[in-house]
Amino acid sequence: MEGCRLSVKDLACRRGERLLFRGLGFELNAGEALQVAGPNGTGKSSLLRILAGLLGPFAGTLERIGAIGLVDERPALDEHLPLGRALDFWARIDAPAPPAPDLGLNPLMDVPVRFLSTGQRKRAALARLVRQQAPVWLLDEPLNGLDSEAARTCEALVADHCANGGLAVVASHQPFRLEGMKTLHLADFTLPLPGGEGIEGWGSAAEGRASALASSTPTQPPPQGGGE
C-alpha cells in the first residue's frame, strides 16, 4: 500500500453564518486511526468533507498524502442498478482489486440499490471501500444501520486496513472498538451556542486569529454543501 499521512493545523469550518469549530489540529501516519466524537450537528461530517477535499476550510492548513476512500450517507452506487452491477461498475474502475469482503451481500446482488435498507447500503459501501484500496479511509457514522455482527465486521475491516499500512478517520457518536485508536472530541474545538454566542474571548493566539477571520467579511461566499 502506498504511503499515507494526514496533518491538520488550526483548522476552522464555517457553514453559513455559523463557525462549527476552530483551532482543530491532529496528525496521523500509516497504521494509525482516529475517532472524531461528538453529537450530531457539531461538524463531524463537515470535517470529513474537508479532509476529503470536498469542502474548503474557513481557516487552517491540511496536508494529505495518499488516495482517499470516503464512506458517508451518500454511497456512490447507481440507484437503478441491481447491487451486483452497481458494484461491478466500480470493480472495473478499481481493478485490479481484491475480492469484496464477506458482508452478507450475496443474497442482495439482484436487488436494485434503491430498495436496500440503510444497513445494506452501508455494507455495500464498505465492500466497495475495501476494493478501492485507498490508503486513507474516511468513515462518517459507519456503524449507523448495522446490526452488532456487521458492526464488529466493520471494526475488523478498519483494524486490518491500519495493520496493512493504511490510516483511518472515523466520525461517530457511537463507540468504535479499535485497539490503539486515538480520539478527538469536537466539543473541545466548538463555540458556545446562542446565549454565549460569538467568537471573542477565546484566550489563545490561535483563537484570536480565528476570531479576526470570523469577524471579517470573506471576499468569496463560503462553500455550500451537505453534511453537518
CATH of the domain at 4: 3.40.50
Residue 85 lies in a domain: no
- Using DSSP, state whether 227 is helix, strand or coil: coil
Confidence (pLDDT) at 59:
95
Q: How does 46-84 read in b/e, with b if 16+ C-beta sit within 10 Å?
A: bbbbbbbebbebbbbeeeeebebbbbbeebebeeeebbe
Residue 10 lies in a domain: yes
Residue 167 lies in a domain: no
Confidence (pLDDT) at 95:
62
Residues composing the chain: 228
Q: Which residue has the higher pLDDT, 26 or 195?
A: 26
With contact defined as beta carbons under 8 Å apart, do 59 and 216 qualify? no
Name which of 124-128, 140-144, 185-189, 202-206 the model is least confident about: 202-206
Residue 61 lies in a domain: yes
Question: What mean pLDDT, rounded, does the chain reach?
Answer: 83
Alpha-carbon torsion 104, 108, 112, 117, what sign? negative
Residue 201 lies in a domain: yes
Residue 24 lies in a domain: yes
pLDDT at 225 over 70: no
Residue 227 lies in a domain: yes
pLDDT at 154 over 70: yes
Residue 4 lies in a domain: yes
Confidence (pLDDT) at 206:
39
Laid out side by side, the sheet with 167-171 consists of 68-71, 136-140, 167-171, 33-37, 182-185
- Band (191; pLDDT cuts 50, 70, 90): low
- Band (219; pLDDT cuts 50, 70, 90): very low
Whose grid coordinates read 468504535?
176
Nearest-CA neighbor of 34 among 117, 139, 124, 152? 139
pLDDT at 65 over 80: yes
Distance between start and end Cα atoms, the chain = 31
How many distinct structural domains can be found in the chain? 1
Nearest-CA neighbor of 12 among 1, 3, 21, 25? 21
With contact defined as beta carbons under 8 Å apart, do 25 and 8 qualify? yes
Share of the chain above pLDDT 90, in %: 63
Please give the residue range of the domain that contains residue 14: 1-66+180-228
Rounded mean pLDDT of 77-86? 93
Q: Which residue has the higher pLDDT, 200 or 99?
A: 99
pLDDT at 53 over 90: yes
